[in-house]
Chains A and B, each alone.
Chain A
Amino acid sequence: MRRRMLPGFNLSLGYSLSYLGLIVLLPLAALTWKASGLGLGGLVELLRVPRTLAALKLSFGGATLAAAINVVAGLLVAWVLVRYRFPGRRLFDAVVDLPFALPTAVAGIALTALYAPNGWIGQWLAAFGVKIAYTPAGVLVAMVFVGFPFVVRTLQPVLETLEHDVEEAAETLGARRWQIFLRVILPMLVPTLLTGFALALARAVGEYGSVIFIAGNIPMKSEIAPLLIVQSLEQFDYAGAAALGVAMLAFSFVLLLLITLLQRWSRRWAENAP
């Protein structure tokens, strides 16, 4: 028998696999089982309904855009929090976590109140003819809100451990500040930015509570896929709800897989070290 340096391999692997199976795979398997009642034909039929298609498009399109916005804004906030020392920094740092902690419905209602045509922000935007609440833009706002902390929190530790002498080396080699950022700092952050993007995306795709309040839920326009699932459930169409769930699951899986591959490529320099 081969000896392992680290003891407890069998026990820990067995434990983690059963845990993963119980908590993650079992519910997903049940979901797929339920959806299989519809058959493959039924699933395709369901996906051809324009209303379903529009909802899926909004859910995934909105989530991707929201994650992209969060990557940019999150990088900026994480940068400021790590690189600068200013009064109130710790408070600012704690505020970043609030979207994690707030019940999503509360966040949704608060956002709606702000962005509604008579709200604090909404009334000013309304003057320019811009409508946020009850439009796809409102969906985006809610998705940005819930995904934001993921990017900041994944970036912070990586930014903190970036070695300062690498930037100094670039400076003595003649690079300007923006060149140092674009050519030295950003490339080293790409893998982490992708992780943050994936987390923010996953969160926004699955978001329900905060979105439905601000979305207005107009079919074909501002209706998200999770809402369709809830509606199906309310009409006791369990198989339909499950089928839609499986479709979302498949899309999410493909997206996250793509991000992982991209991330691997972006980290090629760290691999096969001697």
Chain B
Amino acid sequence: MTLELTSLNRRFSDCAALNDVSLTIAPGEFLALLGPSGSGKTTLLRILAGLDYPESGKVSCNGRDFLAAAPRERKVGLVFQHYALFRHLTVAENVAFGLRVRPRRTRPKRAGIDARVEQLLARVQLDGFGKRYPSQLSGGQRQRVALARALAVEPDLLLLDEPFGALDAQVRVTLRRWLRRLHEELGLTTVFVTHDQEEALELADRIAVMNRGRIEQVGTPREIYQQPATPFVCEFIGKTNRLALQREGGRFVAGGRTFADDPWLGEHAQAIAYVRPEHLTLSTTPLPGAWRARLRHVYLAGAVAHLELEVAALDHALEADIASEDLARMGLHSGDELHVSPGHAVIFSLDRDGGAIAGDRWLWRAGVATTTTRLPARRSEAELGAHRVDGGIQR
């Protein structure tokens, strides 16, 4: 089923939970709604489930008006962050609930229900747990029961609201890989809400990044990570270094280092560059156009080492990630002198007030001729002012 969401608006007493949200969800897709708390992602999910309604906008499913249908007519399975199991019912009764409440003519026979429950419990790897009560299960097991319960009604659309939010880190990783496999087996259209970017990047076919009731960018995890469309996406996804750029003549410069020719042909005096820690090249010998830096601290996190670099020319620190092996080979220690230069950057032009112009994005690569991507300007100037980039700008 193709879900078409068109300019949805939902306001709560003082703030907009959804502000003109449009999105298309393809059949069989695994879509993540990713954003900080209060970004409207849960509201969007609840609207799809029929537990909340937008003030304006449309949701259509294969051309049919989805909003006009009652929750029980939508064929939607919903899994909650805190499981929401019926604690007075056994695991098997929980899973059977959706079948037992059906009107007599569509309700399967008792034996049919039992067989289906058995099959679903096997599917979520809980065979033999049918007679237990939810209070006797661990968090991960409870969430699998909740999933089996949602699948029992044979939904066309599976909605997951922070499904791993209440679980500890190890269970979370195991369970999400398992969920991804299950999704591939079932081929069910799945929408899941999360504030955990790692989870979204790892699991989803596509990610919709949300901020303040708007969708900032929709794309594959690779697109979201490598070609962020807005400053918010740059800062929210992964770690990033922020550099303020000044136009000097026909070039953009930061800390005495020339990035490249001005792609905007003198239109903007300032810009902001986002450089990921893994896109900083380190060297112990001088590189052309590199900044001199001092290694302030090494945070060894297993396979990757996080390096804190003090760059005098920028008067603020940069963070660089290198493989622990490379760190050992280079024989780096705190206090060493280094040369550092960026390899990739995402650059946004700034207007006169220091607000980023989201539509004006420049994907910069060292040594490659300047090209800008003019994304369709979706926003008016006034709205752009709302996302100010401040703090990191040097004058």
Contact = CB atoms under 8 A, between A and B. Distances in A.
A67 B42 CA distance: 44
Interface in A162-180: 163, 165-166, 168-176, 179
Contacts of A173: 72, 97-98, 101, 149-150, 152-153
A187 B86 CA distance: 10
Interface in A33-51: none
Given A165-B82, A166-B84, A172 B101 contact: no
A188 interface: yes
Contacts of A273: 135-136
Contacts of A184: 86
A169 B84 contact: yes
A269 B133 contact: yes
A170 B97 contact: yes
B51 interface: yes
A188 B136 contact: no
Interface string B308-345: 00000000000000000000000000000000000000
Contacts of A166: 84-86
A273 to B, nearest CB: 4
A168 B149 contact: no
| Residue with the greatest number of chain A CB neighbours at <10 A, chosen from B82, B101, B149, B153 | B101
A169 B102 CA distance: 15
Contact of A274 (B82, B138, B153): B138
Interface string B36-79: 00000000000001110000000000000000000110101110
A272 interface: yes
Q: Which of B82, B86, B137 has the most CB of A within 10 A?
A: B86
Interface of B: 49-51, 71-72, 74, 76-78, 80, 82, 84-90, 97-98, 100-102, 133-138, 146, 149-150, 152-153
Query: Which 6 pairs show the lowest CB-CB distances between chains A and B?
Result: A173-B98, A273-B135, A174-B72, A165-B84, A169-B84, A175-B101
Given A165-B84, A174-B153, 13 more contacts: A165-B80, A168-B51, A172-B51, A172-B72, A172-B74, A173-B97, A173-B150, A174-B98, A175-B101, A268-B133, A269-B88, A272-B136, A274-B136
